[in-house]
Amino acid sequence: MTAVLETRDLKRRFGAFVATNDVSLKIERGARHALIGPNGAGKTTLVNILTGVLPPTSGQVLLDGEEITNLPSHTRVKKGLTRTFQINQLFADYTPLEAVMLAILEREGLGSRLWAVVGSYRKTVDEAAALLARFGLASVMADRTNRLPYGKQRLLEIALAFASKPRVLLLDEPAAGVPEDERHEVLSIVSDLPADVTVVLIEHDMDLVFSFANRISVLVAGAIFAEGTAAEIAASPDVKAVYLGESA
């Protein structure tokens, strides 16, 4: 088994509260791995540690066997690890086109160019247009992000992360808060992500989890409570008791 993303004894304290408790996790290359758990289980904290938004108190994070525990977020993105946010973290004044242009230019290492004109990177503009079309954003490419319908903003969340060409993409509740009629579009985008991108899905929605994931880790009180294939997790009486049982 080749783990593309791995954590070793990851721990994060906030004062006396332990938000992440000795999490050792292996995500296989190309996996559709879901991270589930009740509210406050520490799912988002874990994603924040993985992507360098929060430093861990102790433990290690490895990407393709290389330690990245102390690298800043932008370096992790360059190495192929990126994420979306549960609550939109977008550039409010930018159009989807501008935001995606930014992400592609940074991926290509062109972001530090002081003297070039953004529009002169014709290949980048072409790629941005194709990416926006792929994520259902072509029709709104010139609208300000904060005026987009919520579903479109969620799609832009994913498009922005995808523009970095990640090897590992962490999706933090991609469909959270999306109205029912826009939900289908988000879900089909998520299930159509290319197979060579490893996807870690943090999700509450059990239908989405079981339709999408081939492997599931259950996080309870900051620690890994159970891990296995979707079928194993669905059949586990322990998981039902602490987690699924609540909603059943």
| Closest listed residue to residue 97, CA positions, set 152, 47, 44, 137 | 137
Q: Given the complex with another protein, which of 34 and 169 has the nearer CB atom? A: 169
Query: CB of residue 153 vs another protein: minimum separation in angstroms?
Result: 12
Torsion of CA 228, 229, 235, 236, to 10 degrees: 10
Q: Given the complex with another protein, which of 142 and 248 has the nearer CB atom? A: 142
Q: Hey, is 227 helix, strand or coil? A: strand
Query: CB of residue 233 vs another protein: minimum separation in angstroms?
Result: 29
Q: Given the complex with another protein, which of 68 and 218 has the nearer CB atom? A: 68
Contact positions vs another protein (CB under 8 A): 51-53, 72-75, 77-78, 82-83, 85, 89-95, 97-99, 101-103, 105-107, 110-119, 121-123, 125-136, 138, 141-142, 144, 160-161, 163-164, 192, 194
Query: CB of residue 24 vs another protein: minimum separation in angstroms?
Result: 24
Q: Given the complex with another protein, which of 20 and 164 has the nearer CB atom? A: 164
φ, ψ for residue 143, nearest 5 deg:
-90, 150
Q: Given the complex with another protein, which of 145 and 236 has the nearer CB atom? A: 145
3-state SS, one letter per residue, for 93-110: CCCHHHHHHHHHHHHCCC
* The pair of three-digit structure tokens given for residue 60, joined into one six-digit string: 């290690």
What residues have CB less than 8 Å from 126, skipping those under 6 apart? none
Q: Given the complex with another protein, which of 198 and 236 has the nearer CB atom? A: 198
Query: CB of residue 164 vs another protein: minimum separation in angstroms?
Result: 6
**Cβ pair 169, 1 in contact under 8 A:** no
Query: CB of residue 175 vs another protein: minimum separation in angstroms?
Result: 18
**Cβ pair 145, 92 in contact under 8 A:** yes
Query: CB of residue 228 vs another protein: minimum separation in angstroms?
Result: 30
What residues have CB less than 8 Å from 32, skipping those under 6 apart? 199, 201, 212, 213, 214, 215
**Cβ pair 176, 190 in contact under 8 A:** no
Query: CB of residue 121 vs another protein: minimum separation in angstroms?
Result: 8
Q: Given the complex with another protein, which of 85 and 225 has the nearer CB atom? A: 85
Dihedral sign for Cα 222, 37, 198, 83, please: negative
